[in-house]
């Protein structure tokens, strides 16, 4: 074990994803195959592949299907986000990662940002909603404000990014933890490409990681090698 983690416990912290604009059908098939082999907790694809991914996951107990809402800019209207969330849940998604309205957050339109999140949280019912801040586009004060807004709007997780705009740093995590402490869970996406980075972020209080296909498998391989050493 590394840091008192087993390989299964590590896998249960990782959402394996194919959510870039150029993610293709073959990559979706690859991440589902990897999730079944490695026992990753969840699979995230772009909305156009959600129904197909659900089909591929049939019979795969313990692996949830995640839905991406408002990717990548968060600038769609609340009505659009609601429709997208409802459609994704209809496809079988049991977790939703929604992008905060970044432009409105940066404009100081706090009530609009909060209402946007609240509508999706209510539509999700008992399903977890992770609110994505896209930290690489925000000032420090905006990161703190966004985390508090997401928490107060009922999100179960604050998530650092989509993985599109830039990497998450240790400083970003510290800012979020300073703002919300242990009152909401933290998910990191963007820039987690090594086991050492993941473990350090886990020590800082991160409980979930959204990681692309190749990096996720590389991290699992590195863990297995170290565990045998």
Average pLDDT, the chain: 96
Residue 1: the pLDDT is 57
Q: Flag whether 196 is in a domain.
A: yes
- For 4-22, b/e burial (b = at least 16 CB within 10 A) is ebeeeebbbbbbbbbbeee
Question: Tell me: the pLDDT tens digits for 17-37?
Answer: 999 999 999 999 999 999 999
Q: Flag whether 73 is in a domain.
A: yes
Question: Tell me: the pLDDT tens digits for 151-189?
Answer: 999 999 999 999 888 999 999 999 999 999 999 999 999
Q: Flag whether 62 is in a domain.
A: yes
- Label residue 229 by pLDDT band (50, 70, 90): confident
Q: What is the CATH number of the domain that holds 99?
A: 3.20.20.70
Question: pTM to 2 decimals?
Answer: 0.95
Distances (CA, A) of 218 to 21, 30, 37, 167: 22, 14, 14, 18
Q: Which domain holds residue 182?
A: 7-228
Q: Flag whether 180 is in a domain.
A: yes
Q: Flag whether 1 is in a domain.
A: no
Residue 44: the pLDDT is 97
Q: Flag whether 2 is in a domain.
A: no
Residue 182: the pLDDT is 95
% pLDDT > 70, the chain: 100
End-to-end CA distance of the chain: 10
Q: What DSSP line would sit under the chain, residue for residue?
A: -BTTB-HHHHHTTEEEEE-STT--HHHHHHHHHHHHHHT-SEEEE-GGGHHHHHHHTTT-TT-EEEEEESTTT--S-HHHHHHHHHHHHHHT--EEEEE--HHHHHTT-HHHHHHHHHHHHHHHTTS-EEEE--GGGS-HHHHHHHHHHHHHTT-SEEE---SSS----HHHHHHHHHHHTTSSEEEEESS--SHHHHHHHHHTT--EEEEEHHHHHHHHHHHHHHHH-
Number of domains in the chain: 1
Question: Tell me: the pLDDT tens digits for 123-161?
Answer: 999 999 999 999 999 999 999 999 999 999 999 999 999
Question: Tell me: the pLDDT tens digits for 194-211?
Answer: 999 999 999 999 999 999
- Return d(Cα 163, Cα 192) in angstroms, integer: 9
Residue 3: the pLDDT is 74
- Label residue 4 by pLDDT band (50, 70, 90): confident
Residue 49: the pLDDT is 98
CA 195 to chain centre: 18
Vertex 36, ends 228 and 215: CA angle to 5°? 60
Gyration radius (Cα) of the chain, Å? 17
Q: Flag whether 178 is in a domain.
A: yes
Q: Flag whether 174 is in a domain.
A: yes
Q: Which residue has the tokens 């989509």?
A: 162
Active site residues: 97, 159, 187
């Amino acid at each position: 074990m590394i840091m008192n983690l087993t390989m299964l416990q590590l896998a249960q912290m990782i959402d394996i994803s194919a959510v870039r604009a150029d993610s293709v059908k073959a990559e979706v098939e690859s991440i589902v195959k990897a999730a079944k082999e490695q026992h990753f907790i969840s699979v995230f694809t772009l909305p156009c592949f959600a129904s197909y991914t659900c089909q591929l996951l049939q019979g795969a107990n313990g692996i949830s299907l995640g839905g991406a809402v408002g990717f990548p800019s968060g600038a769609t209207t609340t009505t659009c986000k609601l429709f997208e969330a409802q459609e994704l849940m209809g496809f079988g998604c049991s977790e939703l990662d929604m992008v905060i309205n970044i432009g409105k957050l940066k404009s100081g339109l706090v009530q609009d940002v909060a209402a946007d999140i609240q509508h999706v949280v209510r539509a999700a019912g008992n399903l977890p909603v992770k609110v994505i801040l896209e930290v690489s586009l925000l000032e420090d004060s905006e990161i703190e404000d966004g985390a508090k807004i997401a928490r107060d709007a009922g999100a179960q997780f604050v998530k650092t990014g989509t993985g599109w705009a830039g990497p998450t740093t240790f400083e970003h995590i510290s800012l979020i933890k300073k703002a919300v402490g242990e009152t909401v869970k933290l998910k990191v996406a963007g820039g987690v490409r090594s086991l050492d980075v993941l473990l350090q972020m886990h020590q800082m209080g991160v409980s979930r990681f959204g990681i692309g296909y190749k990096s996720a498998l590389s991290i699992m391989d590195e863990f297995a090698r170290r565990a045998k050493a």
